[in-house]
Every structure is written in structure tokens, then in C-alpha cells.
Structure 1
């Protein structure tokens, strides 16, 4: 197969269920047949319908061997779908291989062999913080100069957690003496969050910025009420289907200020067995009294861009933090801030947010180098919105044009000469993961969206992270990059909260004069020029644990490159359809209600 050739629509068949109107990737609207509801308490932090289903499946799993086909509940029976000769059909897992032995994680096997009391203890242990003997300062040093880290994962070999961080590490007193903090996030479990702070910091002022409304807002306030030090700040969300998806921490210490931009929700599951990304800033010292208003800015304009982002909330609570940021020296920052905020933007404002923000930074800070105009764009994400009826509607027009920008005046090549590779977990990736099918609760790609855009799935590549030991830790991280055809070099790398959707990145209106964004998102962009690399590219660190490679030039991409395209039997994970013909890593099936 010619890897540089554009995939042809329809090469994986068509889905023929009825479609629906435009939907957000997080709506989780299900058109699967209904089954009797299971008796399990609802989560206090549902986030999405996909997460709710995952919670129910974990609370009351359906064992593969316990459910013969003739006794399956209605939702597990195959929907009536017109089957295509070459197609991915949206039935259950009939095309999956049926292993002779259920895949089990090492932890599950060890628990199975122990006495009941030991099994109970084992079940409790699996949610404890992964630990190793690494000194936190060694972890920080290992992350230089990029300061890009992955989260620790329970259930993998200790060496694969080398250089990784848990939220308790980030909030550790070893990183600073905390005075107060702000947590920006989408899904928040307040009691769990408070417990992640060290005892000596749990009564320090904590501001939580969220986007909850109506009943979910009431639940959040009820959860925060017992904690006198916790205040809540509701983000303005005027656009339908918009979400407050940004994931950031502002940590004020006696010694200075730290900014953390990451991809994890503030719930236990997101810090347990998932692959997440973290950018941890240096410790920013306070500026001397009487310093110029220009003092403390970085060459990437990070401080002014961060203040502008906070200003978009129009919140008095965040005005206090804007002033705090202005009082600190952020000059050592080497990354660019790429954010989205809800609204309709025209003129110069159009380049402040979303994919037009990325386009502007790449245009102004990349030097055109011959041959790089044909380098592929690689996108990796955990959810997908509606792209339109074909790739020309958004993916390869405005969004693709932003992703392909490399300096000023560079000619854009046609699609056939500039491939796009999209990494999204397949059904088998999810089935064999550490969590099994419930891992799919954090991959809320819904049937009603998927069935409208079968052409998109021809771009899909598997989630593979064998070199980092994380192939079975499903990704909630989102990354985008421009790589050489052999994936040995990167022109740039972005880690962000933004999934592949118009709601997150924005879409043009009024003949291209206006950018419409629904959600709050935030990420950081790594450019070789900000790290003084004369070649204008990062080398890819093929083995992120190898010590011989020059860490100053090699970037630790968290998955295997080059990406591996879906095979003929691979299908993208769609959360709201049943998978009953093959067991997951815990011996269970997936039967959404």
C-alpha cells in the first residue's frame, strides 16, 4: 500500500443506520436498543453518558461465559444493519477474533489465585497511587528541556512509570510550599481532588473552574459544600453543546508560581490506567517590586497569552489570578499557549483562538524548509465530533490548512501529496486494555456521529505504545504533530485538551470572515526554534527510556511511530453499541443500556 496516497472513501464500507442532527462529541446520545437498567448508584461526576455506562459496567459486569447467545439481553443482540461486502458494520463484535483464553492483566491473575480476604485487599490496592523509588527531582530533571510528562499507570512494569507523574506528585510539598491553587477542568470529583493534596495543604484556598449547569451544577456545589476552603467559578458557556474542557492547574507557592497544563479529568479513573499528558512549567519566581510591566515575559509571549485566556472568562475570581501571574517572572517558558474560548470572532480576534491560533503561531515562528511541505500531519485524540459529509467540509479545508502551515508563503500541497494520519483506539485496543471494555467510557465517539462519516475512518490508525509500555493503557491524551515521512523528525508537537471536533477547534462562518468556537480548550505547542535547534526540527525519541539519545533534541512522543493503519477487520471504538462476541481483559462483555 502507498502510505502517502490519500485513503479512498468507502474502502471500509458504509454504515446504514439512520442518522441524526449535528451532535457534540460528548453528548453520548445512544440509539442502541434499551435493556433493563442495572441497580447501581449513579456516579456523582458523570461527565458523559459514555462515562456513566462505564461506571455501570464496572459496578455490575456481565461475564462473557455467563451470557450464552440465546440468553443475551435485548441490547446485546445485533442491530439490523445492511451489511456491506468490505464494511465495518455496527453490530456487536462478530468480526473480532475469539481467543481461546480470556486475556487477563497480571494483577487480575494474581488476585484470582488468592483467598477471598486477599482478593478484597487486592481490589482496594488497584486504586492506590502507583509508586516507585524515583526522587521527584530526578523526574523533573529527566523531563528537561521539554517538561513534558506522562501520568503514572497502575498495572504496568515499574520501569514504564519512570519519569511519569501522578497528581499527588504534582501537588507534593517537594515541588513548593502551597499558598493557594486553581483547578480548571471538565469532570471533577471534589472529595477525591481534595484528598490528592497533602494533608498540610488541604485547607489552603482552592478555586475550581467548571462548566456545570443545572442539576450537575447543584451536585457539584453539594460536593464542595463540606470544604470551607473550596470556591467554585462557573465558566460562561453560551453556545449549545459547548463544554469547559480545559485542564489546567495554577499553583501559587511561597517560593513562586507554577502552571500545569494537562489532559486528565479530576477523577480517580483518569489517573489510574490511562495514558495522559502533562506539561509542568518551571517554578516562576516573583518579580522584584517596581518591575516594568514588560518584565517577566517569555519569547513565546506565554505570560500575556495566559492572562488573555483567563480574561476571556470575565470572572472577578480569575482577575485575582491574572494579577498574580503578572507579578511573576515567566521568561523561562519555551512553549506557546494554544487555547480556545467560546464565541464568534472576526478580524484580528479570529487568530487568537482555536486552529487559527495554531495557524498564526506556525506561520510566524516556523522557517520554510524545502521538502517539508509534504510531511504528514498526525493527530491523536480520545473523542470525535461531526466532520461533515466528506473531508473537504472542514478536515482538509480550514482545519487541515492550519495544521499544514509551516512559515510564511509556503505553498499548500493537495491531499494526495500531504497525508493525514489519525490515531484512535480500535475495538480490539479497548477490549484488550488494562481496564477492558470500560476503558471505552473515556472514548465517547457515538453511533449517531460515526454513522454519518464512514469516510473519516479510512484515515484511522491503531493506538500502539509498546516502546513506552503503554499499549494497554488507553489514551485520554490528545496530541497533534507534523512529522517527516519516516517519522524520525518533528516540525512541531502539540499536547492539548482539544479533541478532533469543530466545537473544540472552531469552524468558519460568513464566507470565512468569522470563527465560531463552542468550548474552552487549552494546550501547549513545542517548536524547535524555541529550544534553539538550528535544524528546525526535533528528533523523535523512538525509545523514550533510552539514555543514549540526546534529550535536548529528541522529543518523547508517547506512542509508536510510524502509525499503523487499521487492518480490514479493525473498527473504531463506538461506545454505545454492544460488544458481546469476545471477552475483554477481565472476561466481560460490553452491553450498553
Structure 2
């Protein structure tokens, strides 16, 4: 088993990480605990007691104490392996993460240590789902007009051939263009795993700008070893704020570019057995040198909104990319950009509400077809924030109050639509491809859940049989309204934003001043509105309509409510 590159500084709490990487200091503490027959561990003072205890609990689940002899052997083996980590020259062991599976035995990669270089023949040792090169452009063409994909699931073979399944390697495929530089904006980035994909795509030496949110020690000073990589930690104004956006900007040798909006972090677990969503823009050609400054905008204003969003980072290294976007033709883009940026935001006369749920509400009020108030707002995310003491506190007052909007005439008497939330139950996770470890991407805790018992009345199971992903836990985040009787979808949002005030914003309650929407996070998503995508009032649901393909919902409908005995999956199940 490969030693974690963080070693004693590892702060990970993801169970799959501990299935794939050994940690000599943890193994030593764990082995001593087994030998002493104690339920408590003797943790040296130099470590964080709380963090180490949590990580040891994860080891207990992976290597149970029940069979003490086998567990002791396992820890000895892990410790011995960790003391003699294997190194490779191209790329190094810290540049390519092991692809050992979370639910099965770790793959022995020792034979790879003998090879100085990677080549096409052993790509499958690092990337579990490999498709034939050169075909992505045709796949994207066939995905029109939505251009929305779900990630291929390692343990669900039907998804490997599904027309709307995708791998990271396909996004980098040469058929989409000759990548000469790129930007990766994400929360969690395993730079070794990412550079492995760049290597196999033949673009390892191309300039790469990385903006990341989560602490990543291996990204500090990476430019000394990989001069083509510039890595910048996004500084946040408050301790609990998160740079949570998942976005790619791909620049091609012919000066065209492409934008990808995703829900997946850039590390292996998120592209393994988790359901993720991605929107891929058309190829965006360069405008003529003498083009007007307002040229190349889409009907949705996507170009301007994207530039305004990137400016909010206040990072000088993004300036050349903002300039490149300004000089690119975005007229083929048919979706709206919906972002969140930290701070307090008020409505302006020119742009309306700029960010968060208020921005989404403004767009719906202007462009969404009239919707019957009986049609629920359906939310789905991989985490749930602290929503308040009752459904009225934030869900109805701020969130649903914006998502219920449409272009109906002002003054019409309206009622709040129902709120439904798709979130995996304990049963959903226990039956997942990775068993209980499948819940590693669902950081909803008992403390928060206990404070909002009302939420259970709104919860729906995760089911995605039509897309072969019922056992692939959802890290995707989506929001929509659809009508089962009329078999139509009114609008759909794919975004990095979980259901939380930090992601979407909450209004101040001071009536003496203009309402201010306070947002903590950076988030990015796209809004699909039928009038701009298909020219109709709604999207077809389930089956094509008059030559327009059905909108590819990521889950099954009708929805399945929680039963009396169902409970939402809580991260505490992996820690207790």
C-alpha cells in the first residue's frame, strides 16, 4: 500500500483515503492499542487528539479490531510497507495516486516501480475507466442541446458506454482541441492524480494554473519541481467560508477555448464510484482582432457573468484568462452562469441581484415559463447546512421564495410550492458500491441533523436506476422544478452549491435598509432555461418531444419519499 504523501501532517477524514494510503504514525498507534487490548489509544502529545482519534476510528472500520490477530498482521504489513515507500521517476509517486479500489483489496503496484516512464499500455493502472481516444468531439456533438454529462462509475459497467457518461481523460481529449494551457479551479485537488491525467493526455508540459480551496501541502512550492504549474490558495474572508467552485478553462492552440462547470473535486475518489455532473461548453472561437468589445456575447449573458465572477477572486494570474474570455465568441452558449461570491450583495438597477439564490430568482422571474404553484421545488445535494428551526426560517423565506419565481404577471396571488430534498438515506449508502464508505462524500452530521428534525418530512431517497447509478452516491448538486403529469421540466440548475446559507446566501432581516444577501462561499453553476436551450417553454421529461431529446435528469422520477424507519446518512456513522 502506498504511503500517504502528507505523512504525519495528514488531515484527511475521508475513509476511502485511508483504504488506499498507509500512515505509519497511525498504524503504530493502532497496533499498540490492539496489543494493549484497550478501547482507547495512547496518542503522543505532538498530535491533535481529536483528529487522530477520528482517523483511528476510520481504521477500525477498515481493519476491525474484532479479529485482533489479523488486524495486528495488517498493521504490521502496513507499517512495513510505509517505511519503504516505492518511488518512480516519471511521474513521481506523489504525482500519481494509487487507483486501488475503496471496496476491495488494494492493487499491488510494485511492478510499476521498475518502470522509469508511464506509457499507453499501463494507463489502466491509474485510470479505471478508459475509453477510446479521439471520440469525445462526436460524443459532445450528440449530447446537444444540453451538453450535460454524469461521470462514468467504475463499478457500474453500463455507465462506461452510456452516451452521457464521461471521464476526465475525455475532457482532455485531443478531438476537442489541442490544449496549450488550462485553469483548474476547485476545492480539493490531488495534484499528482491530476498531472497523471495531463500526462496521459499528452499535455503534462503545458501551463496549468490551479486555484484551490482545501489545504493541500503538496501544492506549496510545486512550481520549483513543476515550473509549468502555478498553484494559488484562494484566501477566504471568514474561517468557515469555502472556495467550493469546480471549473475548468481550457485554452486551445488555435486561440479558441472551452469552459467546463463541474461538481467533482479533482482527486480520484470523486471520479470513481460517485455520481457527478458536468456541463461542457461548445468550442468558443477567438473573435477577430477588430471585433467590437461587446461582440461574442451569448443571449444568456454568460460571457459577461463569467468575467465578473473571475474578477471577484482578485488574483492577477487570472487576468490573461479574463482577457481571453473577452476576446472569445460565446454566442453558442445556451445556459446562464449562476455564481456565488463571498460578501454582502444588494440588487442593482443594471444587473439586478448579482449572485446566489437571489440571482437565480431574478433569472427565473424574467425567463421561466409560468409554473403552477403545486409544482414542488426539488433540491439535491451532497451536504446539507444548518437551515434553521423550521422550514420557514430560511428554506421558504429566502431559498424557495426565489426558486419559485417565474414570468407570470406581477400581482397574481401566489402560494409557496412544496420543498423536496433528495439526500441519500442510511439504506442507500449501505447498499452502495463501496458500502458504508460510499458515504464519505456526504458530510452531513448528527449535530446539525438533530437541530432540524422537520427536514425528514421533506427528504427523498437517492435512486438512479435509469442512469445505472443507484449505488453510486451523489456528489452532484442540482435544483429543478418538473411536472410529472405533463412530463416536462421547467428549468434545471447544475452547480457546486450544496443546500446551505453559505453557498446560496441569506438575507438580512433589517427592514430599514435595502435587503442584503450575505454569501460565504465561492460557487459556480449553470441554469438551463428552455427558451434559450430549445426555444420552447419546457424541456421534455422521460421521452423526446418533437425531435427535442428528454432532459437528462440524474435521478429517477417519480421521487421516493423516506419511509417511517428511514434516516438520512450521517457522517457520524463512519466515525463512531
Same fold flag (TM > 0.5): yes
> Are residues 48 and 494 of structure 1, via their aligned partners in 2, closer, same or farther at CA, if it must alter by over 3 Å?
farther
Match of 1:402 in 2: 402
Match of 1:188 in 2: 189
How far apart are 1:444 and its partner, in Å? 0.4
Assess if the C-alpha contact under 8 Å between 1:358 and 1:402 holds in 2.
yes
Match of 2:148 in 1: 148
Assess if the C-alpha contact under 8 Å between 2:540 and 2:548 holds in 1.
no
Does residue 329 (structure 1) correspond to residue 333 (structure 2)? The answer is no
Moved more, 232-241 or 281-290: 232-241
How far apart are 1:72 and its partner, in Å? 11
Match of 1:381 in 2: 381
SS in 1 for 2:373: helix
How far apart are 1:171 and its partner, in Å? 0.8
How far apart are 1:141 and its partner, in Å? 2.4
Q: Distance in 1 between matches of 2:216 and 2:19?
A: 25
How far apart are 1:316 and its partner, in Å? 1.1
Per-residue CA distance 1:294-318 (angstroms, 9 max, x = gap): 1100000010000000111112111
Equivalent residues in 2 for 1:189-588 (5 A)? 189-197=190-198, 198=200, 200-212=202-214, 216=215, 218-222=217-221, 225-255=224-254, 256-348=256-348, 351-368=353-370, 372-408=372-408, 409=410, 411=412, 413-415=414-416, 418-486=417-485, 488-511=487-510, 513-534=515-536, 536-541=537-542, 552-577=548-573
How far apart are 1:388 and its partner, in Å? 0.7
Match of 2:91 in 1: none
Assess if the C-alpha contact under 8 Å between 1:55 and 1:438 holds in 2.
no
Assess if the C-alpha contact under 8 Å between 1:421 and 1:563 holds in 2.
no
How far apart are 1:352 and its partner, in Å? 0.4
Q: What TM-score, normalized by structure 1, do the two folds share? A: 0.75
Q: Distance in 2 between matches of 1:126 and 1:412?
A: 60
Q: Distance in 1 between matches of 2:195 and 2:386?
A: 36
SS in 2 for 1:533: coil
> Are residues 159 and 435 of structure 1, via their aligned partners in 2, closer, same or farther at CA, if it must alter by over 3 Å?
closer
SS in 1 for 2:447: helix
Match of 1:177 in 2: 178
Match of 1:56 in 2: 18
Aligned residues: 490
> Which structure carries more relative contact order (alpha carbon 8 Å, separation 6+)?
1
SS in 2 for 1:397: helix
Q: What TM-score, normalized by structure 2, do the two folds share? A: 0.78
Compare the two structures and name the one with the higher helix fraction: 2
Q: Distance in 2 between matches of 1:469 and 1:199?
A: 28
Root-mean-square deviation over aligned CA pairs: 3.6
SS in 2 for 1:359: helix
Equivalent residues in 2 for 1:53-92 (5 A)? 53-56=15-18
How far apart are 1:219 and its partner, in Å? 3.9
Assess if the C-alpha contact under 8 Å between 2:147 and 2:279 holds in 1.
yes
How far apart are 1:485 and its partner, in Å? 4.6
Q: Distance in 1 between matches of 2:551 and 2:356?
A: 24
